[in-house]
A and B are shown apart, each in its own frame.
Chain A
């Protein structure tokens, strides 16, 4: 009995030392936006869409065609991001700005995952060339949390 007790105690110690890596592959934090018409139907932009952001040279969405939704990174430390959406057709180019005011906070999912910045959107506004309005439907920009902003565009000819 004594020997068994001591042996099993040692086994418990050894088993306690096991380890594994745990980090989900789906760990992107993107602000999800989708395009709609005035009736709330999903819209696909037939022309080329490019999205850049003020304060960075990075192109967040590069020459996308047939775009109905986009997932964009937001800045880690700015209180507001100004996104410039440019739609380019054969004989025209139109741009609109979307300003997203937000609160940022760091998030540690796991020791094995990279640290991510998450955001809580406080307000979103837009200029009105090809965009009619924007509506925040889910302010929490976290891991794969569905749509955050609905972008209503002018669809009238």
Chain B
């Protein structure tokens, strides 16, 4: 009986001594429970650096845009993007010149997959884009080879009408740089929905969409400010 009580005392004492050591060595700790996110968590405004960068570096085209978004429950981010698309391009083989400069508009939302609220976000989203624009084509060397006398007759077609609607499937990440300043990027897959162009030719570039085609890829590097 005496032996049993001694053993029990030793066991309890050793367990009590071991507890702080075990706690110190543990790789895990229980996170304090996050308070539930508010429905309206403010809004943010931002600017895309890709378009500005492409314009500064003399790119073939540039989508310069600003955006505004709501923060709902730290999960849902309805967003509006407005921009001006610009393109001045001369053909590689021909002397054909394409020009346009027009506004475009996108509306959509992002969903945040990140559970922790530490400033980093993994976002997946969808956008609907629309633009109505005028574009110009010109070629100084146009020539009627069969019926002409060899003299070029320059072609200048201006203010051709174009309309395009498209979708954008976006994946991106963003992080908090400092207090209310955020930096992020998105990669965007853009299927074209509906087009209406002049019979004189399809535009080489569509403002906000990019190089014209059934689908294209795009991206943005966003500097955002939480308000």
Question: Which A residues are within 8 Å of any B CB, using their own CB?
Answer: 1-2, 4-6, 8-9, 12-13, 15-17, 19, 21, 23, 53, 55-56, 58, 60, 73, 75-78, 81, 105-115, 117-118
From B1-9, B36-44, B102-110, B197-205, give the one contacting chain A: B197-205
Q: How large is the interface on B (under 10, 10 to 19, 20 to 34, 35 or more residues)?
A: 35 or more
- Tell yes or no: B215 within 8 A of A by CB: no
Main secondary structure of the interface of A (DSSP, over half): loop
- Per a CB cutoff under 8 Å, which of B53, B59, B94, B147 touches A113? B94
* Pairs of residues from A and B, 4 with the lowest C-beta to C-beta distance, nearest first: A108-B201, A12-B219, A111-B91, A9-B221
On chain A, the residues within 8 Å of B60 by CB distance are 19
User: Is B183 a contact partner of A6 (Cβ separation < 8 A)?
Assistant: yes
User: Is A5 a contact partner of B185 (Cβ separation < 8 A)?
Assistant: yes
Most-contacted residue by chain A among B94, B139, B173 (CB, 10 A): B94
On chain A, the residues within 8 Å of B219 by CB distance are 9, 12-13, 15-16
User: Is A5 a contact partner of B183 (Cβ separation < 8 A)?
Assistant: yes
On chain B, the residues within 8 Å of A109 by CB distance are 201-202
On chain B, the residues within 8 Å of A56 by CB distance are 146-147
User: Is A106 a contact partner of B144 (Cβ separation < 8 A)?
Assistant: no
B132, chain A: closest CB distance, angstroms: 20
User: Is B90 a contact partner of A111 (Cβ separation < 8 A)?
Assistant: yes
| Known contacts A5-B185, A112-B91, A115-B94, then 4 further A-B pairs from the complex at CB < 8 Å, ordered by chain A residue | A1-B173, A8-B173, A16-B50, A81-B147
User: Is B183 a contact partner of A108 (Cβ separation < 8 A)?
Assistant: no
B178, chain A: closest CB distance, angstroms: 10
On chain A, the residues within 8 Å of B14 by CB distance are none
- Per a CB cutoff under 8 Å, which of B139, B147, B217 touches A55? B147
- Which residue on A lies nearest to B98, using beta carbons? A111
User: Is A12 a contact partner of B220 (Cβ separation < 8 A)?
Assistant: yes
A72, chain B: closest CB distance, angstroms: 8
- The distance in angstroms between the C-alpha atoms of A60 and B201, with both chains bound, is 27
- Tell yes or no: B10 within 8 A of A by CB: no
Contact code string B180-219 (vs A, CB < 8 Å = 1, else 0) = 0001110100000000000111101000000000000111
- The distance in angstroms between the C-alpha atoms of A4 and B175, with both chains bound, is 10
User: Is A5 a contact partner of B184 (Cβ separation < 8 A)?
Assistant: yes
